[in-house]
Amino acid sequence: MRRLLLVVGAVLVGLLPAGCGGTKKYDAEKTRSCLADQQGIKVQNKVDFVASTALGGAFTAKLPGNQVTLAFAEDRDEAERIVRAYQRFRGKNIGLTDVLRPKSNVVILWKAHPSAAAEQTIQECLK
Q: Encode the chain (127 residues) as per-residue pLDDT tens digits.
A: 433 333 333 333 344 444 455 578 999 999 999 999 999 999 999 999 999 999 999 999 999 999 999 999 999 999 999 999 999 988 777 788 889 999 999 999 999 999 999 999 999 999 9
DSSP letter assigned to residue 18: G
Number of residues in the chain: 127
Domain count, the chain: 1
State whether the Cα torsion 40-45-49-53 is positive or negative.
positive
The residue range of the domain holding 98 is: 2-125
Separation CA 120–CA 112 (nearest Å)? 15
Report the DSSP pairing between strands 66-72 and 58-63. Answer: antiparallel
**pTM as predicted:** 0.81
